[in-house]
Amino acid sequence: MNEETKAVAKERVVGRPALLAGEWWSDFLWELFCPGCQTPVVARIIAEALDELGIGDKAIMVAGVGCHGMLLGGVALDRVHALHGRGPDVATGIKRNLPDIIVFTVQGDGDCIAIGAGSLIGAATRSEKITIIMINNTNYGTTGGQLAPTTLIGQVTTTTPQGRDPNVEGYPAHAAELVATFKGVSYSARGALHTAANYQRTKGYIKTAFQKQLDGAGLSFVEVITACPPNWHLTPVQSLAWIQEQVVPEFPLGEFKNGGSS
Ligand SMILES: Cc1ncc(C[n+]2csc(CCOP(=O)(O)OP(=O)(O)O)c2C)c(N)n1
Ligand code: SF4
């Protein structure tokens, strides 16, 4: 395929949402992620959702610490890097000072429901008018694949070499279901990206979450299941099947709350 044909094919098949960072920087950035990593897909889906809602010029992204933090370099938005787990606190400060801006966090499962659990629960309790997007790859990706609250029973990680044992490490935490129990939360859903249909559904969840914020409703939350092939000791293709066969039965997909403004 010559360069011209390649460019046309890329545009037709893949396209590039306007809110993804410029071609040169973006192409470099995506190479920082492991083959088959679905974390960058979350940046793409957010860019598409903001584009389609026409709010890309009034959105601020706050990221946590981890592989997902690298997404800050991939979107053409105003961005803030929070301390580990403190995204909801930073987003709260921004939103309370700039109420007309759409403020959202992108956090890992370790960032959001382990070290950041207090910040998450505080923001949900206070019904902050922010959106939280939690990437669930069932482990601490960036630090080498340790156990996270989301690790599956039996899953091998560097801190559970024999597999997660519920008698020792307990059971997986279900963030989307937990967040849905707070009265001040307007929306909570869990999506995945392992098929095209799931990609589209997840984009719908993220758009609904942003729409809640546009409507002035309380905190909206979307958990997104993503593949982390190296830490799962699987190939990228095997990872997609593992999501369907192992991860989804533990973490069911769908909406857990879709309420009004409280
Ligand atoms: C206060 C603090 N404790 C621990 C760390 C080390 N640390 C950096 S990233 C990370 C885990 C990130 O995992 P997750 O949030 O799931 O994100 P992922 O890398 O999977 O995207 C940890 C423990 C840190 N940076 N700061
Ligand atoms: S360690 Fe996992 S989350 Fe991090 S870049 Fe690699 S595949 Fe992605």
How many whole angstroms from 52 Cα to the centroid of ligand 1? Answer: 31
CATH number at residue 253: 3.40.50.970
pLDDT bucket at 25, cuts 50 / 70 / 90 = low
Q: Is residue 80 part of a domain?
A: yes
Q: Is residue 232 part of a domain?
A: yes
Provide the pLDDT for residue 1: 63
Cβ-contact 62, 104 below 8 angstroms: yes
pTM: 0.94
Provide the pLDDT for residue 244: 98
The predicted-structure confidence for 167-199, as pLDDT tens digits, reads as follows 999 999 999 999 999 999 999 999 999 999 999
Structural domain including 107 reads: 21-258
Provide the pLDDT for residue 210: 98
Measured from the CB, is residue 142 less than 6 Å from ligand 2?
A: yes
Provide the pLDDT for residue 190: 98
Q: Is residue 2 part of a domain?
A: no
Measured from the CB, is residue 228 less than 6 Å from ligand 2?
A: yes
| Ligand 2 atom closest to the CA of 33, numbered from 1 | 5
Q: Is residue 15 part of a domain?
A: no
Q: How far lies 209's CA from each of 45, 103, 104, 197, 230, in Å?
A: 13, 11, 10, 19, 31
Ligand closest to 235 (CA) is: 2
pLDDT bucket at 14, cuts 50 / 70 / 90 = low
Q: Tell me the average pLDDT of the chain.
A: 93
Instruction: Please determine, for residue 148, whether its predicted confidence score (pLDDT) is greater than 70.
Output: yes
Instruction: Please determine, for residue 77, whether its predicted confidence score (pLDDT) is greater than 70.
Output: yes
* Total structural domains within the chain: 1
| Ligand 2 atom closest to the CA of 145, numbered from 1 | 1
Q: What is the largest CA-CA distance in the chain?
A: 58
